[in-house]
Amino acid sequence: MAVFLLFLLSSVSCLATALAQQSHLNISLGSSLTPTGNSSSWSSHSGLFAFGFYQQGNGYAVGIYLAGIPGKTVIWTANRLSPVFPSNVSLVLSSDGRLILQHTQGQDIVIADPSESISSASMLDSGNFVLYNSDKKIVWQSFEDPTNTLLPGQQLATGHELYSSVSETDDSTGIFRIKMQDDGNLVQYPVRKPDTSEYAYYASNTFGNGVTLNLDGDGHLYLINSSLTILSNLTKGGYPQDGRVYMAKIDVDGIFRLYSYSSNHGNRSILWESVEDKCAPKGLCGPNGFCTMMDNVSECRCPPGFDFVNPGNWSSGCERNFTAESCKSNSITNVKYEIRSLENTVWEDNAFATMETSTQEDCEKQCLDDCNCEAAFYKDGECRKQKLPLTYGKRTSDSNVALVKVGTLASISEGVIPSSPPKSIKKEIRVDILVIGISLAVFGVMISVIAGVYVHRNQVRAYKKITQNGNVEYVEDAAPKAFTFDELEVATNDFREELGRGAFGAVYKGVFPNSGKVVAVKKLEKLLVEGEKEFQNEIRVIGRTHHRNLVQLLGYCLDGNKRLLVYEYMSNGSLGNILFKPENHPWWDERIRIASDVARGILYLHEECETQIIHCDIKPENILMDDSRCAKISDFGLAKPLDHDRTRTYTAVRGTRGYVAPEWHRNLPVTVKADVYSYGILLLEIICCRKNVDSRFPEEQSILEVWAYDCFVDGELHKLVGEEEAVDMTKLERMIRIALWCIQNEPTLRPSMKKVVLMLEGTVDVPVPPSPDSFFSAM
CATH number of the domain encompassing residue 708:
1.10.510.10
Burial (Cβ within 10 Å: 0-12, 13-18, ≥19) of residue 637: buried
Checking if the pLDDT of 369 tops 80, the result is: yes
Q: What is the model's pLDDT at position 444? A: 52
Looking from the CA of 181 toward its CB, the CA atoms found within 13 Å total 19
Read off the CATH number of the domain in which 92 is found: 2.90.10.10
d(CA 305, CA 309): 13
Looking at the structure, tell me whether residues 579 and 549 fall in a common domain: no
pLDDT band for position 410 (cuts 50, 70, 90): very low
Q: Where residue 524 falls among pLDDT bands split at 50, 70, 90? A: confident
Question: Of the given ranges (127-141, 383-397, 604-618), which has the lowest mean pLDDT?
Answer: 604-618
Determine the Cα–Cα distance for residues 553 and 483; give it in Å rounded to an integer. Answer: 12
Which of these three, 346, 380, 414, is where a domain ends? 414
Catalogue the E-assigned strands of 309-448: 318-320, 337-343, 345-346, 353-356, 375-379, 382-386, 393-395, 401-407
One domain for residues 649 and 703: yes
Q: What is the dihedral of CA 546, 552, 555, 558, to 10 degrees?
A: -100
Instruction: Judge whether residue 72 has pLDDT over 80.
Output: no
Are residues 773 and 627 part of one domain?
Answer: yes
Query: Where does a domain end: 547, 568, 589?
Result: 568
Whether 403 contacts 378, CB under 8 Å = yes
What is the spatial distance between Cα 335 and Cα 342, in angstroms, rounded to a whole number?
22
**Could you report the per-residue pLDDT of 316-355, keeping only the tens digit for each?**
899 998 888 777 655 555 678 999 999 889 999 999 999 9
Mean pLDDT throughout 579-592?
86
Mean pLDDT, rounded, for 118-124:
94
pLDDT in tens, 41-55: 999 999 999 999 999
On whether both 80 and 127 belong to a single domain, the answer is yes
Q: Catalytic site residues?
A: 617
Same domain? 443 vs 509: no
Cα torsion 394, 400, 401, 405 to 10°: value is -70
Residue 31 lies in a domain: yes
Question: How far apart (Å, rounded) are the C-alpha atoms in residues 521 and 57?
Answer: 18
Same-domain check for residues 30 and 113: yes
Cβ-contact 472, 558 below 8 angstroms: yes
Which residues lie closer than 8 Å to 629 by C-beta, 6 or more apart?
A: 168, 169, 572, 578, 586, 590, 594
* pLDDT value for 458: 47
Give the single-character DSSP code of 154: -
Distance CA 337, CA 365 (A): 11
Inside any domain, residue 291: no
Q: Give the 3-state DSSP-derived string for 195-206, with helices as H, strands as E and coil as C.
A: CCCCCCCEECCC
Note whether residue 584 is domain-resident: yes
CA distances, 209 to each of 185, 273, 402 (Å): 10, 25, 44
Residue 290 inside a domain? The answer is no
| pLDDT for position 17 | 44
DSSP 564-601: EEEEE--TT-BHHHHHSSGGGPPPHHHHHHHHHHHHHH
Residue 125 lies in a domain: yes
Q: Which of 568, 599, 632 is the last residue of a domain?
A: 568
Total domain count for the chain?
5
Instruction: Judge if 663 and 746 occupy the same domain.
Output: yes
Q: Tell me how far apart the alpha carbons of residues 497 and 694 are, in angstroms, rounded to a whole number.
A: 30
302 falls within a domain: no
Average pLDDT of the residues in 234-251:
91
Q: Give the whole-angstrom CA distance, residue 68 versus residue 87.
A: 24
DSSP 608: I
Question: Considering the domain boundaries, does residue 101 fall inside one?
Answer: yes
User: What is the CB neighbour count within 10 angstroms for residue 731?
Assistant: 18
- Among residues 395, 392, 394, the alpha carbon closest in space to that of 193 is found at 392
Q: Cα dist. 522→12, 563, 629 in Å? A: 59, 9, 21
Do residues 223 and 234 touch, judged by C-beta distance below 8 A? yes
Query: Which residues make Cβ contacts (< 8 Å) with residue 203, sequence separation at least 6?
Result: 185, 186, 187, 188, 197
| Residue 269 and residue 134 share a domain | yes
131 and 253 co-located in one domain: yes
Cross-strand bridge partners of residue 672 = none
Instruction: Tell me how far apart the alpha carbons of residues 101 and 626 are, in angstroms, rounded to a whole number.
Output: 29
- The predicted structure's pLDDT at residue 447: 52
Cβ burial, residue 382 (10 Å; 0-12/13-18/19+): middle
Residue 421 lies in a domain: no
Same domain, 536 and 604: no
Whether 406 and 391 map to the same domain: the answer is yes
Q: Is 562 annotated as a binding residue?
A: no
Residues 43 and 110 in one domain: yes
C-alpha Rg value of the chain to the nearest Å: 30
Range of the domain at 351: 307-313+321-414
